[in-house]
Structure 1
Amino acid sequence: MAARLCWGRNPLRRREDRLEGWLNAVLLLAFLLIGSTLAAHLSRSTYREQTRVVAWERQHRFEVWAMLLETPTPAAKARWKAPDGTPRVGRVIADPATSVAGTWVTVWVDENGAPASPPLRRSPVTSAAGVAIAAIILVAVGILLVWLPCRLLLNRFRLRAWQAEWLRVGPRWSRYR
């Protein structure tokens, strides 16, 4: 592993190899520190926000039974009771294939008894985990975008050094002079 990170004790290591070793170490440490810190912060704030939204929806969205007064196409006139017990009449959406007039269906209403959209089905834990994974991937891509050009530049310096050395040493070994 140390040799892969260019930290081995090879006597043939050049200045560029040592620089690459330090670059690898610094970027690995940056990935671990930045990635974990960013993922923890974002997942914590996402979890708190999603928990707040779910709590708000629990207080302001209610599922009630409504009786259809006509066959839906797909909306139909229906009658239900608001959360405070007052009767309400209005249009609700129901499945035309399974509902006819007189059928009881569930509908979501707000605290005033008006039809509302159902609360989203989401888990704060799942949302927070997804944000944490996305943050780690984003940091990894950022580190890679720093590492790749540095590595290409170091390879360019290595190739130039090898070429210069070969121009000095090569003619001694070769019969073509």
Structure 2
Amino acid sequence: MIMRPGQPLLLPANPLFIWGSLFVALMVNMLPLGRTPWMPDLLALVLVFWSVHQPLRVGIGAAFVFGLAMDVHQAALLGQHALAYTALTFFAITIHRRLLWFTVPSQAVQVFPLFAAAHLIELAIRMIAGGVFPGWEVVLAPVLEGLLWPVVSVILLAPQRRAPDPDENRPL
């Protein structure tokens, strides 16, 4: 990958960390916090992050499996989250090379339409199946996910920014 000038070289991502962060995001999504339509989908956020940064390790198949897990957990129409996560991951992988050239705040602006489209897919499937409209608070979820993008970027890239062999002259 061609790096931007001034961008630090990152260490390789540990596969255990990648899948562990996805599992933790799944568990956070499964917390019984009530059905609030404005709540950001942390699993979708982490899926997009790893699809952008590690597209060969986290792909559409993983998004489909995690989507099915969310469908079963929420007793939603089977395939609702799976389709939304699959489309989200597909478009994230499609733009991943271009997206990495931008700064993190610019990336947040560019992934916002992906999150909005994923929530729109979930809402459309729910409404077609005869569900009730959750209210206009559902518009806040992709906005919050876009605002969380820089936070997730800092947290999930932190293990890759450490020095390969720390010593007293280079403690980080």
TM-score, with length taken from structure 2:
0.30
Structure number with greater Rg is 1
Q: Which has the higher contact order (CA 8 A, sep 6+)?
A: 2
Which one has a larger percent strand, Structure 1 or Structure 2? Answer: 1
Which one has a larger percent helix, Structure 1 or Structure 2? Answer: 2
